[in-house]
Structure 1
Amino acid sequence: MKDKGFTTRLVHADRTLNQPQDGAVHYPTCNSVLFEYADVNELVDVFQGKKLGHVYSRSSSSSNSALQNILNELEGGVGAVTFSTGMSAISSAMISLLKQGDHIVVSQFLFGNTRSFMDTLINLGIEVSFVDTTDVKAVEAVLSDNTRMVFTETIANPVTQVADLTAIGQLCVTHNLLFMVDNTMTPAYLFDAKDVQASLLACSLTKYVAGHGNVLGGAIIDTGLYDWQQYPNIFSLYQKGDSSQWGLTQIRKKGLRDLGATLSPNSAQQISVGLETMALRIQRSCQNALRLATYLHSHPKVANVYYPGLADHPQHFIARELFKGKYGGIFSLDLKPGLDLNTFLNSLRTVITATHLGDTRTLALPVASTIFYENGPQERSKMGISDEMIRFSVGIEDIDDLVADFEQAFAKI
């Protein structure tokens, strides 16, 4: 299927990769918690990692394996692990791979919940440096002998800063560091993680992958570019067999199994079905977002628009190169001072006020008073977040209807 187009591969991936029985085109949901073995020796081999198989659905199931196969195929990796949410994917991977005394470098523009988790790591004795990942020199400046990982999002939420992924990836290769990238905003249709030397991908499957706001999920995907034999934190118990699997094995054992953030079989099947239309949805969202951002950029009641597709965005040219000429479905704006943000949001009729993104529907949210409220004024200022900022996740509606909705809401303020 690798010679086929992106959407063709997606539509047929479940059928061709997982080969469901009886002519089904989707792999069936397996709700069994336990798995029987006629020969106890085979069960022992699966437990000890000598043979592939399922022993308990907290750790693995055929439904999750089917989804993992599709996600891994899209990224051209060596394996994937699914989780109940995107946050559980990030937290499980980091807790599995880091230990007290390690140092990691992360973006200072991280999404609120991910930023909050960094405080948890600090409390566990892991050093965390927050830097501007749009500048590779800022990353390089804080590297030390105990640095193990660099972590950033592709496009930051909500101010849309674009990390200098190519330069950071090369820096990580030079210093033998894990390069973990959250590509939730830019799934495989928009972004080829292997082009920037990413080691691990973290993704909230809840967003663009599933796409319809009806199921939670997350994933870690190993691109196969990192040599786990060089990583000092792999337990000796997991240093067996193919070394390309050592990192994922440790994440499965110490993260998924021990922490227990398992993706349900029903959710895995739902995500697989939603995934089939990902390219079509993202393409329409990107088109709508660019049209809206361009329209709002010159609107008299808008002070600033933050969208990588606009020529005056600081990382516009980096984004154009990284994301195949598309710029994602997220943008933010600042209303002019003195205009009532809440009145504007309450006046929208087609656009929904809700905390989510990557949906088929266009969504809006006041940033400072909701998802970044806990960060406080000083930290929000460092991130470029104003009190007047509204984040929009643009859906697949007809663009004329969206513009009309903005116009009537602006008239109310």
Structure 2
Amino acid sequence: MTTEKISRSFNFDTIALHGGQDIDPTTRSRAVPIYQTTSYVFDDADYANELFQMQKEGYIYSRNANPTNTVLEKRLAQLEGGSGAFAVSSGQAAITIALNTLAKAGDEIVATNALYGGTYNLFANTFQRFGIKVHFVDGHDLDAVEAAINEKTKALFTETIGNPSLQIADLKNLSRIAHKHGIPLVVDNTFTTPYLEKPFDFGADIIVHSLTKFIGGHGTSIGGAIVDSGRFPWNNGRFPEFTEKKPYLNHHSFLELAKENAFIAKARFELGHDLGASLSPFNSWLFIQGLESLSLRIEKHVSNTLKVAEYLSQHEQVEWVNYPSLKDNPQFELSKIYLPKGAGSILTFGIKGGLEAAKTFINSVKLLSHVANVGDSKSLVIHPATTTHSRLLPEEQLQAGVTPEQIRLSVGLEDANDIIADIEQALSVVRTKHF
């Protein structure tokens, strides 16, 4: 069965197992093969020239495309409901390539301020060195979002669930504002994955992923991906780079050659090629394995997280718990719109005793792992203010939803009672030491 028939006729779990794969005609391998190769033999000189000028589809060099990566890309695009995807070396590479495909020196980007610390640093510092200015705004203040957009703005960026504030993006309204001004809405869907939320259904135009997290699921590989909806009108006058004819494309434009895949083609053949942020086919193969069990894992993640959140919300040593699926959470109604299957497996809570109590808790857990990651099958814990967001100034930390007493949990797939028991014993150490 062809990948097109799988995309059109099957549901999520079936696509997660079969999407993007045409059985290898030589070996008839049932599993996706790992094409561990750098390069590919051309039929003749004319064929090679046509490949380099995007006149034909095919493989040139694994920095640009690889057959194992292609399966991953097609499967992700099908799961998200997009037209195409580009797999790269990390989530940071995905964000960098996606936004620099849209913006150049002198351009601007508007981003919601509830962001992962690495993304905030990328925007505030590295992009500034590129000559791209990023305006940070409160994603729930729609007037402020719109006011920050001007004639230089090339994109509006947000995370489906902010890290670690857990602010849920109002994608319907954000996409309405972006499209009113002729710019795409770019969404980081790492925390939710397409199983919990499909941003394209709410008007988003481009999705980025850190595949390292839930899609990989086991903390073994770093990778990222860009997915295009295929719906944005690149010929609206704001993006001449997509419509101008390129000498190196035999005097055609990306829009002429790739049509609904113009964005992915430009990202792949320009920055993907020039920056060399290529994804190893072995890592790609591991991500394909992760996709096959994604829905099962996410359901268990969500179930465990709700149990942990309810436990923490009743604990006397906990000042507050932030998990949007809790009924008393300010975002509960918003979560029912965007995340009816659950608000993922990340929660934060504030421990009584502030910074020192938070450090003691982190140092006292035994089952939970103290690492700078989320989305692993194992439960993880970290103190954002002194780690992931430590490069931010105190006022910037507050804008990103980071406070000294805040602890972030990435709830894994262990038995929920064992996770809670470890949290309880760590809180007991805090009580003995600080109260």
The number of residues matched between the two structures is 411
Partner residue of 2:120 out of 91, 104, 115: 115
Q: Does 1:317 align with 2:317?
A: no
Q: Distance in 2 between matches of 1:92 and 1:264?
A: 17
Q: Equivalent of 1:216, from 222, 225, 238?
A: 222
Partner of 2:38: 33
Give the equivalent residue in structure 2 for 1:145: 151
Aligned to 2:93: 88
**2:47 alignment partner in structure 1:** 42
Question: Alignment partner of 2:46: what SS?
Answer: helix
TM-score, normalising length: structure 1: 0.96
- Bigger shift: residues 25-34 or 50-59: 25-34
Amino acid at match of 2:225: A
User: In 1, are the aligned partners of 2:258 and 2:265 still within 8 Å (CA)?
Assistant: no
Deviation at 1:3, TM superposition (A): 4.1
TM alignment of 1:361-372, pairs within 5 A: 361-372=378-389
Is residue 404 of structure 1 aligned with residue 421 of structure 2? Answer: yes
What are structure 2's unaligned runs of at least 5 residues?
Answer: 1-5, 247-252, 431-435
- For residues 313-353 of structure 1, give each alpha carbon's deviation from its aligned partner in whole angstroms, at most 9, with x where no partner exists: 22221122112231111011110125622222222121111
Q: 1:253 aligns with which of 246, 269, 285?
A: 269
Once residues 84 and 111 of structure 1 are traced to their aligned partners in structure 2, the CA distance between those partners, rounded to angstroms, is 18
Q: Which runs of 5+ in 1 are unaligned?
A: none
Partner residue of 1:54 out of 38, 59, 74: 59
- Matching residue of 2:390: 373
How many percent of aligned residue pairs carry the same amino acid? Answer: 35
Instruction: Say whether the 8 Å CA contact 2:215–2:290 is kept in structure 1.
Output: yes
C-alpha deviation, 1:112, in angstroms:
0.8
Q: Distance in 2 between matches of 1:132 and 1:126?
A: 20
Match of 2:287 among 262, 265, 271: 271
| 1:324 to 1:232, Cα distance in 2 relative to 1, 3 A | farther
Contact 2:374 2:380 in 1 (8 A): yes
Q: Distance in 1 between matches of 2:120 and 2:391?
A: 10
Q: Give the counterpart letter for 1:267 in structure 2.
A: N
Counterpart residue number, 1:236: 245
Match of 1:132 among 121, 133, 138: 138
Q: Aligned partners of 2:401 and 2:19: how far apart in 1?
A: 41
Aligned equivalents of 1:192, 1:71: Cα separation in 2: 11
In 1: Cα distance, 2:92 partner to 2:325 partner: 27
CA distance in 2, matches of 1:6, 1:233: 35
State the TM-score, normalized to the length of structure 2: 0.91
Change in CA separation of 1:12 and 1:124 when aligned onto 2, cut-off 3 Å: closer
Tell me the SS of whatever aligns to 1:50.
coil
Contact 2:321-2:348 within 8 A present in 1 as well: yes
Question: Is the 1:228–1:244 contact (alpha carbons within 8 Å) kept by the matching residues of 2?
Answer: no
2:201 paired residue number: 195
Match of 1:168 in 2: 174
Q: Distance in 2 between matches of 1:66 and 1:242?
A: 19
Q: Mean Cα displacement is larger for which, 322-331 or 353-362? A: 322-331
Deviation per residue, 1:183-226 (Å, 9 max, x gap)? 00011101122221111000001111111000111000001121
- Give the secondary structure class of the aligned counterpart of 1:109: coil
Describe the shift of the 1:34–1:325 C-alpha distance in structure 2 as closer, same or farther (beyond 3 A): closer
